[in-house]
Amino acid sequence: MASSLTKAPAGPAGGEKTFLGHPRGLAYLFMTEMWERYSFYGMRALLVLYLATNVADGGLGMKDATAVAIYSVYNAMVYLLALPGGWLGDRVWGARKSVAIAGAVIMTGHFLLAVPAEFSFFIGLAFIAAGSGVLKANISTMVGQLYPDKNDPRRDGGFTIFYMGINLGAFLAPLSIGAVGQKVNWHLGFAMAGVGMAIGLVCFYFGYRHLSPESSKIPNPLPADERSSLVKKGLIWLGVAAAGYAVVGLAGAFSIDWVLWPLTILGLVLPAWYLFRIKRDKELSPLEQTRMSGYIWFFVAAAVFWGIYDQTGSVLSLFAKDNTESTLFGFDFPESWFQSLNPLFVMALAPLFAILWVALFKRNKEPSTLTKFSGALVLVGVSFGVMMVAQGMSAGDAKVSPMWLVSVYFIQTVGELCLSPVGLSLTTKLAPQKYAAQMMGVWFLAVTAGDSVIALLQLIGAPTDTQGWFASQGAVAALAGVAIFMYRRKVKAMMGGVH
């Protein structure tokens, strides 16, 4: 890290050390996020494989459907909890304290996973989901606070460097944690994820004095009486839930479904309720109401996309284990290594896409937001069309070449680059002024909704190891993309002049 520190050019802050020309605090936030993502994606690369592996081989021996449902609900809760995570940063702890607490919770969760006990494992999973939601909502805010001037030309570049840290951590994690977890010991792999988060926390603490003073402030402090009321309500609901589960447990009827079903329903109902509440707010202007109607189209499209895309760590991981050769050019590798393909493709393709959009814009040929969304949905649909063919070729004991999965990950990454950055930008543009900050959390709820649909399909018994699974979802995504393209003029009119 030190080798990247240089003297800033002469100016108002002349002589101040910087990180690649940016505020020095960016280096520490970069390292914190990289190691947090290392722990997150390393554990996630092992999660479904560990759940579905036979007990004799060290796993939990669950059915594939249950493993996929747990993975989907876990992922849904990470993004759902980003909303209360942002609220804690804004009203209770401030961004800096929120990240410190969240990091400690995540680290504890990973070490609980390292304990060879099923009860400890699921408590650890809950810790990681809660901590990740809080950290995700606040660390990006801290990056923005490094640039007090909203028009600072370094601002976009700073976020680009920061997001490269995300993908670097996500790329390295499966290669190391995945290999150790699968080839040596599952729980040692989970412990490595805990060590990764611990390193991230050390980086964060060392960087305290280089962070913006704003990160320690609470933007909108919660009054004492309101805090007391919320604590009481929270304890009441916690008591009701504990009593309910105690009754189920004493009756001998408790199973994992008693956790999965409520969380899945919450992941479907809460995003719908939140969108409906904003849309029906009478304080919004007619223009803001119209824009929210247009935004709902994009939200549903994003939910369809993420529901398919996030199966890379669940359904596609199981396909890699059961139906794919784990040898390429004579080299054997663990199935978890496939999880490194997406961040690798993102790092390789993102700069090219940025150049492409600028070049097309200068020629007045850049695709519209609607066209990009439409293309992303068609691409993710095509990726599952490829999976349908691969599933058919792997019938019986036959296994397909790993290049089938490589091509699927590549197609999905191209789709992601058409949808994800555009969706974030569009959310800020269409957001009603009253909900400007909250709308970023609403965007993350699209991931929650998509993953919850996949969990629901597993809970009702839909098999994932069939051509029908891939064909049906691929067709839905592709048709949704075509529908958005066909109705683009109608949706564009709802956007109220936003491009």
Is the separation of the CB atoms in 169 and 38 below 8 Å? yes
Residues in the chain: 499
The whole-angstrom separation of Cα 252 and Cα 179 is 38
- Per DSSP, the residues of 167-223 read HHHHHHHIIIIIHHHHHT-HHHHHHHHHHHHHHHHHHHHHTGGGS-GGGGS-SSPPP
Name residues whose C-beta falls within 8 Å of residue 23's C-beta, 6 or more positions apart in sequence: 146, 147, 158, 210, 212
Q: Give pLDDT, residue 8.
A: 41
Q: Give pLDDT, residue 499.
A: 62
* Of the candidates 82, 73, 74, the residue with the CA atom closest to the CA atom of residue 102: 82
- DSSP-assigned beta bridge partners for residue 7: 17
Amino acid at 499: H
The whole-angstrom separation of Cα 470 and Cα 477 is 11
- Per DSSP, the residues of 373-437 read HHHHHHHHHHHHHHHHHHHHHT-TT--B-THHHHHHHHHHHHHHHHHHHHHHHHHHHHS-GGGTT
Q: Give pLDDT, residue 497.
A: 64
Amino acid at 459: L
The whole-angstrom separation of Cα 294 and Cα 368 is 14
Across the chain, which has 499 residues, the per-10-residue mean pLDDT values are 40 58 90 96 96 92 95 95 88 92 97 94 96 90 83 77 90 96 96 97 93 88 88 91 89 89 95 90 87 88 95 95 86 92 94 87 86 93 97 88 96 93 78 76 91 96 94 95 86 72
- Dihedral of CA 189/40/129/310: which sign? negative
Name residues whose C-beta falls within 8 Å of residue 435's C-beta, 6 or more positions apart in sequence: 278, 442
Is the separation of the CB atoms in 406 and 333 below 8 Å? no
Joined together, the tokens standing for residue 237 give 């609901």
| Strand-strand pairing, 22-23 and 17-19 | antiparallel
Is the separation of the CB atoms in 386 and 401 below 8 Å? no
Residue 56 DSSP one-character state: G
Cα 385 to its chain centre, rounded Å, is: 24
Residue spans of alpha helices (H) in 280-340: 286-309, 315-323
Q: Give pLDDT, residue 2.
A: 39
The whole-angstrom separation of Cα 269 and Cα 454 is 14
Is the separation of the CB atoms in 36 and 200 below 8 Å? yes
Q: Give pLDDT, residue 498.
A: 64
Name residues whose C-beta falls within 8 Å of residue 19's C-beta, 6 or more positions apart in sequence: 1, 4, 5, 25, 26, 27, 30
Amino acid at 216: S
Task: Give exposure, 408-419, as e/b (b: 16+ Cβ within 10 Å).
Answer: bbbbbbbbbbbb
The whole-angstrom separation of Cα 299 and Cα 290 is 15
The whole-angstrom separation of Cα 63 and Cα 72 is 14
Q: Which helix (H) or strand (E) holds 331?
A: strand 331-332
pTM for this predicted structure: 0.91
- DSSP-assigned beta bridge partners for residue 19: 5, 22
- Per DSSP, the residues of 138-155 read HHHHHHHHT--STT-TTH
CB-side neighbour CA atoms (13 Å) of 122 = 11
